[in-house]
Structure 1
């Protein structure tokens, strides 16, 4: 059984705070297929309470995290207008070592974002 796992968190760079209450979905990609395998909501620290992909569930492959940011931006008066520039943010990445810890955070502002492979 694989011991690797996947974690994520969201930081609100406009406010300089963790972003709480953001729903995150995790998909496993295979060709044109996209299968939802997990969903979580960020806590007060901007993290999920447990790894979004726990130890024993990780496999080599292509994945996508989708961050539902629109409601968070609205609630914190960071978005203007009915149509958000960043309502939903997908991040696609590959896992090639099912024994490793992968950390894919989102640094969020109303008009831009960044990510990286963290530790």
Structure 2
């Protein structure tokens, strides 16, 4: 029953972050990362394929979602300095219950972001 999902909202433009690239990685005990999937968010700022992890693929452990923020805003025509204040936003989090629902929303602009464990 467990699953992991994300949803990204562009707070500069007041819309979902359609087209943003996101990478999901599992973090191993030795500090190395293993890419699970890379995706592009749909028009609603979500993954077209449903959950990033589902009941079959959820496992207790450490994970990282990396959001390509600067590339997204540049594609929207925002004139960002080089280097951009926010280039990529990495969010590291733990899954303690493989049967739980973990939702990781991101509210983002070129200059700030916030996240929380959603429902």
TM-score range relative to shorter protein:
over 0.9
Q: SS where residue 105 of structure 1 aligns?
A: strand
Distance 1:114 1:11 in 2: 10
Total equivalences in the alignment = 117
Q: SS where residue 91 of structure 2 aligns?
A: strand
Contact 1:79 1:110 in 2 (8 A): no
Partner of 2:7: 9
Q: CA deviation at 1:82?
A: 2.5
Normalized against structure 1, the TM-score is what? Answer: 0.92
Residues 97-112 of structure 1 aligned to structure 2 (within 5 Å)? 97-112=97-112
Partner of 2:94: 94
Unaligned runs of 5+ in 1: none
Q: CA deviation at 1:54?
A: 2.1
2:23 aligned residue (22, 25, 31): 25
More divergent stretch after superposition (72-81 vs 61-70): 72-81
1:38 equivalent in alignment to 2:47: no
Unaligned runs of 5+ in 2: none
Q: How large is the RMSD of aligned CA atoms in angstroms?
A: 1.1
1:42-76 Cα deviation digits (max 9, x unpaired): 00001111111122100001100001112211122
Q: SS where residue 74 of structure 2 aligns?
A: helix
Distance 1:88 1:82 in 2: 13
Contact 1:10 1:18 in 2 (8 A): yes
Contact 2:70 2:88 in 1 (8 A): yes
